[in-house]
Amino acid sequence: MSLGDYGWCELFLQAFGNLSRPGYAPGRIIRVDRELFIVGAEQAEIQARLSGKLRAEDSPTNHPVVGDWVAWSGDNGGTNLIQALLPRKSVLVRKQPGSRIRQQAIAANVDTAFLVMGLDQNFNVRRMERMLTMTYESGAVPVIVLTKADLAFDPGAQAQSVESVAPGVSVLVVSSHSGQGLDQLEACLSANSTVVFLGSSGVGKSTLINRLFGSEIVATAEVRASDGRGRHTTTHRQMFRHPSGALLIDNPGIRELQLWCSEDALQNSFEDIDEMATGCRFRDCSHTTEPHCAVLAAVNDGTLEPQRLESFQKLRRELRYLAIKMDEGAQRAQKLRWKAIHKAARHNPKA
């Protein structure tokens, strides 16, 4: 494979040229196994580790993820080091699971995000709103993929409920078992484009990839009949090149999806509420108790589902809390920085 087969284009060529370091070569991250990176380079795949400079980066989003383009170098001893991360044209980011206020990159330089959800116990419109918000913020184009159509009682009604919260987004109803909708899914793949599969464990992401390739290239496992959940058969992110020339990224199931973005990101995923809000009397209307609130009026007359407004309010509170914590963290970091500067000045007074 050449760099072009991995999606190399003028954008990354210019970014790489700006480094102008002898001995550097470009490559794309196609798999990450803890501290070991598999890099698709010109005519070969190589194993590499982070340079000391990149390892010292405090922000984990400055570490390469699958889909990233990097500059790497090797020596005669066979040691390959990733020296720099090229600017990303898109990146899917979430809040790191747990209480720590840090971000986590999932995949980079993605053109299309297949948001996969099962038409079984996994079906949850509110979770889809979260995935849509994350995708809009990333710069990738979302495509909703509803799997297990052969197990659904009324897949058409479920598809309509998703379409109501995702205006303008393609919604595909598919079945890996019967093959329904797979031709529509394959039509979304184009040469040198990068597609990531996102969704909970057990929704059939890996099975879909196997069906698209026509062979078992990714391990799969049965889901529990009681709740439709699956085990993490995909334990790492990995990129595969489809016969169409598209690059597909299989992703471990997302069990916890906390957003990492500004409140403005909700304007895209809740465009209907954003448009209704222009009719509110107050510009800063919270759509809770204010008089002459156009959004509450829409709920009262049945134009807007109350669950949709509740979801919007919940995500807005979550993002406002995140903004407060990020600001507090930045203030603490600034205080520690000045404390270190003053300490250094005391120990090294000017002559």
What pLDDT is attached to residue 153? 86
pLDDT value at position 333? 57
- Measured CA to CA, the distance from residue 351 to residue 348 in angstroms comes to 9
pLDDT at 12 over 60: yes
Quick one: which of 196, 205, 184, 220 has its CA closest to 65? 196
- Tens digit of pLDDT for each residue in 252-288? 878 778 888 888 889 999 999 999 999 999 988 999 9
Based on its alpha-carbon atoms, the radius of gyration of the chain, rounded to whole angstroms, reads 23
| pLDDT computed for residue 110 by the predictor | 97
> Token digits for 6?
């991995």
Q: Is it the case that residue 226 has pLDDT exceeding 60?
A: no
In the predicted model, is pLDDT for residue 319 greater than 80?
yes
Residues 149 and 189 in one domain: yes
pLDDT band per the 50, 70, 90 thresholds, residue 29? very high
Helix, strand, coil percentages in the chain from 3-state DSSP, rounded to 5: 35, 20, 40
CATH number of the domain within which 206 lies = 3.40.50.300
Residue 338 has pLDDT above 70, yes or no: no
Q: Which of 183, 218, 250 is the last residue of a domain?
A: 250
**pLDDT tens profile 40-68:** 999 889 999 999 888 887 676 778 999 99
Structural domain span for residue 192: 91-250
- The listed range with the strongest mean pLDDT (78-87, 93-102, 108-117) is 108-117
What is the distance between the alpha carbons of residues 31 and 256, in angstroms, rounded to a whole number? 22
pLDDT band at 221 (very low <50, low <70, confident <90, very high): low
CB 226 within 8 A of CB 216: no
- What CATH number corresponds to the domain at position 48? 2.40.50.140
Does one domain contain both 15 and 35? Answer: yes
337 confidence band (pLDDT: 50, 70, 90): low
Single out the residue of 154, 156, 152 nearest to residue 175, CA to CA: 152
Residue type, 266: L
User: Vertex 120, ends 240 and 98: CA angle to 5°?
Assistant: 65
Q: How confident is the model over 305-331, as a mean pLDDT?
A: 87
Q: Flag whether 70 is in a domain.
A: yes
Is the separation of the CB atoms in 73 and 245 below 8 Å?
no
With b for 16 or more beta-carbon neighbours within 10 A and e for fewer, the 116-141 pattern comes to bbbbbbbbebebbbbbbbbbbbbebb
Number of domains composing the chain: 3
**50 lies in the same domain as 143:** no
Q: Are residues 114 and 203 in the same domain?
A: yes
DSSP per position, 103-140? EEEEEES-SEEEEEEESSTT--HHHHHHHHHHHHHHTP
Mean pLDDT of 131-147: 95
C-alpha 327: how far from its chain's center?
23
pLDDT of residue 335: 62
Distance (Å, whole) CA 135 – CA 282:
30
Q: Which residues fall within 8 angstroms of residue 38, CB to CB, at 6 or more apart?
A: 29, 30, 31, 32, 45, 46, 47
| Residue 281 CA from chain centroid, whole number | 36
- The answer to whether residues 157 and 245 belong to one domain is yes
Asked if 93 contacts 138 with a C-beta cutoff of 8 angstroms, the reply is: yes
Looking at the fold, whether 116 and 168 belong to one and the same domain comes out as yes
pLDDT the model gives residue 251: 86
Verify that 141 and 116 share a domain, yes or no: yes
pLDDT, averaged across the chain: 87
What was the pLDDT predicted at 351? Answer: 45
Task: Clarify whether residues 66 and 115 are in a common domain.
Answer: no
Residues 183-199 pLDDT 10s: 999 999 999 999 999 99
Nearest to 199 by CA among 115, 312, 298, 308: 115
Listed residue (194, 188, 143) closest to 29, CA to CA: 194
Q: Examine the domain organization and report whether 165 and 72 are in the same domain.
A: no
The answer on pLDDT for 105 being more than 50 is yes
* Shared domain check, 281 and 232: no
